[in-house]
């Protein structure tokens, strides 16, 4: 006689199977986009993850909250009214005396009671313009009605591009400029290993206390240095509505960028992570300019290299080495004399012998053009003959050409 389990028993067995399926482990694994998210969360900046539907944005944030031991509060922006974020007016006993307070929603009260948490604003690109306007104060000031969210609450949002969002809207420029925009893409290896039961572990960056003052100084010098040289980048509102809904430069987003550089420096973050954060805050163009500026800041002082060409240490990375050599040539052009010209040639020879020779071509050609008629061509140039025929170019420089170059500095 066959005995069948009751429906409730079958559901219990099904629940056991579901529990096994949902039980996963985590492991430390290099993941630049996850590291960028956790670093922005540590910096207490609102983060917006952009990605196609089903790519794992929501699952990643659930895992992030669990890894950071933060209670997760999920709010679907598009199913709420503007008053849910600005506060519901509650009429008291004497409105003329006490005014009409704006009562916060229950999820905000729970966050305040917990004192910490991860507020996840999902499906942000499906929120109407009126709801987006109501979110401005929440994202920037962390206020909902008359309630102030505690410092322990972090804000992370997720959105689909308008083309793939259900009844999607472009993000308004004021709301977009309050976020660090990060593109969330799938890594097949991470997905396969995760489906096998092990996902990358999200951990807060380890900040070196001894590096904090230097990190702040470095971040300030990087941002102010670029904006001093390129003042048009201080504020540049994009022309198209689509680009207004992304990352673009403004005093607010530059201030966020400064914070991210300081955190990335103190945490020893990779360049890939820093690039994602910088480009996600001020946009691709200004972000790439800032990264190039930071590279030049890290370059050795041209005067130090010229003072001791035999013992000078040149950067290993090709682009930074070439930039250092070009800086040396520019320094000679700014203050030309025979000893400095010869020292620059010695540096170029060392660079060609210890790294990719093609990096020397442009600076060597420029340096050759700085020769004065009375300067003899140094023997060191002959050692570069296999790279570029700078010896003959230097010999062909007409009298006074070098002086003209110096006069034009």
pLDDT tens string 314-323: 888 887 888 8
Two tokens, residue 280: 């996600």
- Residue 49 DSSP SS3: strand
For residue 118, what is the enclosing H or E element? strand 116-122
Neighbour count for residue 339 (Cβ, 10 Å) = 8
The half-sphere exposure of 305 on its side-chain side, counting CA atoms within 13 A, is: 27
Two tokens, residue 297: 């800041």
Q: Which of 306, 391, 294, 303 is nearest to 341 (CA)?
A: 306
pLDDT of 403 reads 40
Inform me whether the pLDDT recorded for 99 exceeds 80: no
Percent of the chain with pLDDT over 90: 36
How far apart CA 391 and CA 53 sit, in angstroms, is 61
Residue 200 pLDDT class (50, 70, 90 cuts): confident
User: Which strands sit side by side in the sheet containing 47-50, from one edge to the other?
Assistant: 72-76, 116-122, 152-159, 47-50, 180-183
154 or 168, which is more confident: 154
pTM flag (> 0.85): no
pLDDT of 165 reads 57
Average pLDDT over residues 60-71: 85
Across the chain, which distance is largest between two alpha carbons, in Å?
113
- Residue 236 DSSP SS3: coil
What is the per-residue pLDDT across 248-302, written as a single tens digit (0 to 9) for each?
A: 999 999 999 999 999 999 999 999 999 999 999 999 999 999 998 888 777 788 8
Which string of b and e fits 157-196 if b means at least 16 CB within 10 Å?
bbbbebeebeebbbbbbbbbbbbbbbebeebeebeeebee
Q: Which of 127, 100, 119 is nearest to 46 (CA)?
A: 119
272 or 393, which is more confident: 272
Residues 6+ apart with CB under 8 A from 17: none
Position of tokens 């670093």?
39
Average pLDDT over residues 152-168: 80
Compute the residue count for the chain: 409
């Amino acid at each position: 006689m066959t005995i069948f389990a009751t429906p409730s028993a079958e559901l219990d067995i099904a629940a056991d199977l579901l529990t096994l399926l949902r039980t996963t482990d985590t492991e430390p694994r290099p993941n630049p986009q996850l590291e960028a998210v956790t670093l922005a969360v540590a910096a207490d900046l609102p983060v917006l993850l952009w990605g196609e539907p089903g790519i794992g944005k929501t699952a990643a944030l659930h895992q992030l909250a669990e890894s950071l031991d933060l209670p997760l509060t999920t709010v679907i922006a598009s199913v709420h009214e503007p008053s849910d974020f600005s506060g519901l007016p509650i009429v008291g006993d004497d409105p003329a005396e006490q005014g009409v307070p704006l009562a916060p929603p229950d999820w905000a009260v729970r966050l305040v009671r917990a004192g910490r948490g991860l507020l996840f604003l999902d499906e942000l690109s499906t929120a109407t313009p009126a709801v987006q306007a109501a979110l401005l104060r929440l994202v920037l000031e962390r206020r909902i009605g008359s309630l102030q969210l505690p410092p322990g609450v972090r804000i992370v949002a997720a959105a689909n591009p308008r083309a793939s969002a259900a009844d999607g809207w472009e993000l308004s420029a004021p709301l977009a400029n309050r976020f660090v925009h990060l593109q969330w893409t799938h890594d097949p290896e991470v997905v396969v290993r995760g489906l096998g039961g092990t996902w990358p572990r999200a951990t807060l960056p380890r900040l070196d206390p001894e590096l904090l003052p230097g990190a702040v100084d470095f971040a300030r010098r990087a941002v102010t240095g670029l904006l001093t040289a390129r003042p048009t980048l201080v504020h540049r509102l994009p022309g198209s509505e689509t680009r207004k809904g992304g990352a673009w430069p403004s005093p607010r987003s530059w201030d966020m960028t400064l914070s991210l550089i300081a955190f990335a420096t103190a945490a020893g973050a990779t360049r890939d992570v820093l690039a994602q954060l910088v480009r996600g805050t001020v946009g691709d163009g200004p972000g790439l300019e800032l990264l190039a500026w930071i590279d030049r800041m890290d370059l050795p002082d041209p005067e130090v290299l010229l003072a001791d060409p035999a013992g000078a240490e040149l950067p290993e990375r090709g682009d930074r080495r070439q930039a250092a050599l070009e800086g040396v040539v520019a320094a000679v052009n700014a203050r030309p004399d025979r000893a400095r010209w010869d020292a620059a040639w010695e540096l170029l020879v060392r660079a060609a012998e210890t790294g990719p020779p093609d990096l020397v071509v442009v600076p060597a050609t420029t340096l050759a053009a700085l020769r004065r008629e009375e300067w003899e061509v140094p023997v060191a140039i002959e050692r570069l003959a296999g790279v570029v025929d700078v010896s003959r170019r230097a010999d062909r420089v007409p009298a006074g050409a070098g002086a003209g170059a110096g006069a034009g500095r």
